[in-house]
Structure 1
Amino acid sequence: MNFNAKYLPPLALVGALALIPVTASSFAAADTTNYQELEKFMSVYERVKANYVEPVDDKTLIKGAIDGMLQALDPHSSYVEANDFDQLKATTDGNYGGLGLTVSMEDGVVKVIAPTEDTPAWKAGIKAGDYITHINGEFLNNLTLDEAVAKMKGNPGTQVKLTIIRPGRDKPLDVSLTRERIELHPVKWEIKDNIGYININTFTGNVAEATKAALVGIDKATGGKPLGYVIDLRSNPGGLLDQAVDVADDFLDSGEIVSQRGRTKDDIERYYARPGDLAHGLPVVVLTDAGTASASEIVAGALQDHRRALIMGEKSFGKGSVQTVVQTGPESALRLTTARYYTPSGRSVQAGGIDPDIPVPQLSDPDYKSRKVIRESDLRRHLLAQSKVDDKLLEADDTPDPRFMMTAAALEKQGIKDFQLHYALNTIKRLSSTAKIAQAGPAKGAR
């Protein structure tokens, strides 16, 4: 496992991590004026040890204290050890036994952010916005997110039953799934109506290389004459910062891609595009939805700010913070939010997300009107952008354009299974036709 990359993990069940050893010097700068507060902690600790109704070991108390401290910060800071640490490493390798769900938790309920494509959860029809209330009949109330995730994971081939509440449905749904070895295939491509379609579903360590290969493959398959490209980042929960930067760079000739800003004014890192647009200036549409998070928002934000692509679909998740994972022992790690990232124009995506240039609802989903989407701004203790974010804007969700009135059944009769993709392809065709007319110049005899 490579521990030398910067990481933008949005939620549980995603990504790859950077582990940094803790040294004694980390504590040398402790403020001595805080000792009184530490004395309060020790007083409570000693009282619990001496007087709790049952004996309790030191490890349990210290782990509880650490968990409580981090829970007071933001949803993405956490501490893991022992089995949880092993599961974390397996997850970040993109190869583990499970269901393929990106989830969060609030008020004791597991909320589905997005299922990963081609996994058991995706095949079973679990959708963003579903609530998981029971696992194998066990009510999940009062479990931590890590504990709930651990119950969903298991050996490939074993079965698990989830009880799901879906907004708009009167009765809970019981879904039986068979766990599989989750091996992420982050980039897939094909030609649709002479348009290159590239589906990027996560940002693991080989995504940039695979995206370049997809662009080369599309170029060859179309004889060097594709009409344009659709980059599908829907339900992409994020991953490695360097991969997001390199993917955005594939479509840019110059300029800033993203900046990462920490606690102090001097703690800024900027990432820039290198010369060479591998898409040759052809039209690009990027598809996003409420599951488009973190590293995928970096790509969408960069291409939008440089006006290199049209962002289409739904507002993204809004996870604009960076986590550093510090290894605190052989089998323990601290995951701590250490920075925010900003798009080239200086926008913080945190809690606000990326607004599409062209909002397009997923009409081919029969539940899209009743489906409750979950974004960063819905998470308890979510980190705000440094500039103030209008709560009314956060609450104003994707209001369907009145032009989009077709039903899922009507679309299915026309053979349209993915309305957003259908709309994106037609947009590329229109953009390509307009570009050809402009290149041709005025008609003969025209003045």
Structure 2
Amino acid sequence: MKISHWRTIGIVCAASTALAGLALASDIAAGPSRADLALLAGVMQLVQQDYVHPVDSGQLTDAALKGMLSRLDPHSSYMTEPEFRESREDMSGKFGGVGLKIMEHDGLPTVLSPIDDTPGAGAGLQPGDAIVSVDGQSTRGVDLMEVIRKIRGQPGTVVRLTLQRGDQPRFEVPLTRQVIEVHSVKSRLEANGIGYLRVSEFGEQTPTELQQAISTLKREAGGKLAGLVLDLRNDPGGLLSAAVDVSSDFLNGGTVVSIRGRNGNDDQSFTAPATGALLPDTPMVVLVNGASASASEIVAGALQDRHRATVMGTQSFGKGSVQTIIPIKDHGALRLTSALYYTPSGRSIQGDGITPDVIVKAAKDEQVANALVWREAQLHGAFANPGMLPNPGAAPDTKSAPSEAASPPIKEQLIGTDRDTQLKAALNHLEHLPAGNPAVIRTSVPG
């Protein structure tokens, strides 16, 4: 089922609608009182009159909107026109920068994951690296979109990031900006006819790229794959539509994900086409880790609940909210958390994440050194998990995640290589499945 691109679930945003303007306060039920509006206007007037330097009213308005939205939850925000334009470039898969997906954590922009084959990945930046300064200027308390704009710039120029990795001393990394063209799907045929697909983010082109990759793998395997590994590790998410379309490539009919908002009119359920599966009889493993977020968790949760794949790896990030992008004519856009999403069995991943069926940690020498294992539930203002939907259908295994399910993520440069312990475990699992691909048993494999 195709959906419009104005609902996002990852770190980056996209939109396809426009709003003529902000609604008047009188048009909004229980909107701001006249006293509230008068207070804002009065403070702005005082700042313009008495602040030590002249301040443009538009600058004050932008700052007020940013402060208002950022206090709601970790993922709501206000984007100025340039920031909104850049966010749309993100989802188109081509933009200028160094190739980092970042979000705020403890007042600092923090790397959620570097993008494959970019300056950030090439320099060895890792999930959990805190960016403490950009070109010598502190980033603490600075609006996240402003930090992103400082990191981006003209291709060929250099930006210097000062990073804090766990309890290690701070270190500086010079990165040469380049045009980032994101190809979100990589694939290759492994031994014994098993296909390997890695999705690094969920953008506009991801479903098309994934279908092309599956066609190539099937051709290379002589028409039929013996198994498939879908690698979603270090994938920070992206578009809800892409997550639904990718899930639908492996499911024939039935629910992929549902979303529940403040009002019943906002509730939606997204289903796969009745005969849409591209590999209906191929055994699958989905790999996730602590840097797998939002769209990645939708796909992993759908395939797990529908018993279509064995999920392996470590506990995922736990971002279970949906952001709606509301453009405001001539004034950028709001990125507003508008709903929570639920897997086919009715469970919310918010704050909890996906618990793998088979826990496999990266080997110690493969893990990000001194990495902090941080997750959605640790972010300031994050929502608590709301629990199961009433009468969701087939009840899932609701046991809580075992303590060993969380673990530092694998180093980005080792993903998919012959040193990748988690991938080896996934391939071994597929190679030794008994006839009929029976239901999985939750277990733990030492890393």
Indicate the TM-score class for this superposition, using the shorter chain for normalisation.
Answer: 0.7 to 0.9
The alpha-carbon deviation at position 195 of structure 1 amounts to 0.4
Corresponding residue of 2:213:
214
Is this contact kept in 1: 2:356–2:405, CA < 8 A?
Answer: no
Corresponding residue of 2:15:
17
The alpha-carbon deviation at position 437 of structure 1 amounts to 10
Paired with 1:32 and 1:114, the residues of 2 have a C-alpha distance of 39
Structure 1 stretches of 4+ with a deviation exceeding 6 A read none
**Where do 1:5-404 residues align within 5 Å?**
5-11=5-11, 14-23=12-21, 27=25, 28-31=27-30, 34-169=33-168, 171-193=169-191, 194-276=193-275, 277-330=277-330, 332-363=332-363, 365-368=365-368, 370-387=370-387, 398-399=405-406
Paired with 1:422 and 1:398, the residues of 2 have a C-alpha distance of 18
Q: What count of residue pairs does the alignment treat as equivalent?
A: 417
TM-score, normalised on structure 2? 0.85
Is this contact kept in 2: 1:15–1:204, CA < 8 A?
Answer: no
Q: What SS does the corresponding residue of 1:355 show, helix, strand or coil?
A: coil
User: Of 404, 419, 423, which aligns to 1:417?
Assistant: 419
Corresponding residue of 1:445:
none
Cα 1:71–1:182 change in 2 (3 A) is same
The residue type equivalent to 1:165 in the other structure is: Q
Paired with 1:85 and 1:23, the residues of 2 have a C-alpha distance of 16
Q: What SS does the corresponding residue of 1:83 show, helix, strand or coil?
A: helix
The alpha-carbon deviation at position 259 of structure 1 amounts to 0.6
The alpha-carbon deviation at position 400 of structure 1 amounts to 6.3
TM-score, normalised on structure 1? 0.85
Q: What SS does the corresponding residue of 1:239 show, helix, strand or coil?
A: coil
Q: What SS does the corresponding residue of 1:20 show, helix, strand or coil?
A: coil
Corresponding residue of 2:429:
427
- Unmatched tracts of structure 1, length 5 or more: 402-406, 439-447
Paired with 2:437 and 2:303, the residues of 1 have a C-alpha distance of 24
The alpha-carbon deviation at position 308 of structure 1 amounts to 0.8
Cα 1:205–1:10 change in 2 (3 A) is closer
Q: What SS does the corresponding residue of 2:304 show, helix, strand or coil?
A: helix
Q: What SS does the corresponding residue of 2:55 show, helix, strand or coil?
A: coil
Paired with 2:49 and 2:230, the residues of 1 have a C-alpha distance of 60
Paired with 2:407 and 2:50, the residues of 1 have a C-alpha distance of 59
- Unmatched tracts of structure 2, length 5 or more: 389-399, 439-447
The residue type equivalent to 1:270 in the other structure is: S
Q: What SS does the corresponding residue of 1:247 show, helix, strand or coil?
A: helix
Q: What SS does the corresponding residue of 1:189 show, helix, strand or coil?
A: strand
Q: Deviations over 1:140-180 (max 9, x none)?
A: 233221121111111111112222221253x2222222111
The alpha-carbon deviation at position 357 of structure 1 amounts to 1.1
The alpha-carbon deviation at position 373 of structure 1 amounts to 3.0
Corresponding residue of 2:397:
none
Query: What is the Cα-based RMSD across aligned positions, in Å?
Result: 2.8
Cα 1:86–1:397 change in 2 (3 A) is farther
354-363 vs 84-93, which moves further: 84-93
* Structure of greater Rg: 1
The alpha-carbon deviation at position 73 of structure 1 amounts to 0.6
The alpha-carbon deviation at position 364 of structure 1 amounts to 6.2
The alpha-carbon deviation at position 137 of structure 1 amounts to 2.6
201-210 vs 147-156, which moves further: 201-210
The alpha-carbon deviation at position 103 of structure 1 amounts to 0.9
Q: What SS does the corresponding residue of 1:324 show, helix, strand or coil?
A: strand
